[in-house]
Amino acid sequence: MPFICTLASQIVDRPIAECNTVEELFMDILTEQERGNVADQLAAEIGKAIVDTFNSSWHPTVVLINLKGEMIGHAGELRVWK
């Protein structure tokens, strides 16, 4: 959680209160606009970590889904999934 709270704080340019879960961060602390920005950047960071870890030449698509099954953020090409 500290990584995600730090990332969120940097993206929204304000302090983020400590939270216990990612769901709490996205549902209770961030505004709707902030949620989208943080989720998209988190997805991009996950995609970068995949490429860095596997030294891959392909570019993964990362989609973040909440517990309701709603897409809250993404990075990469989604056309192949639609």
User: pTM, whole model, 2 decimals?
Assistant: 0.86
* Pairing state between β 71-75 and 62-65: antiparallel
Q: Distance between CA atoms of 14 and 9, rounded to whole angstroms?
A: 5
Q: Tell me which residue range forms the domain holding 48.
A: 2-81
Structure tokens at 18: 């400590």
Per-residue pLDDT tens over the stretch 34-59: 999 999 999 999 999 999 898 777 78
Q: Which amino acid is at 43?
A: A
Overall number of domains in the chain: 1
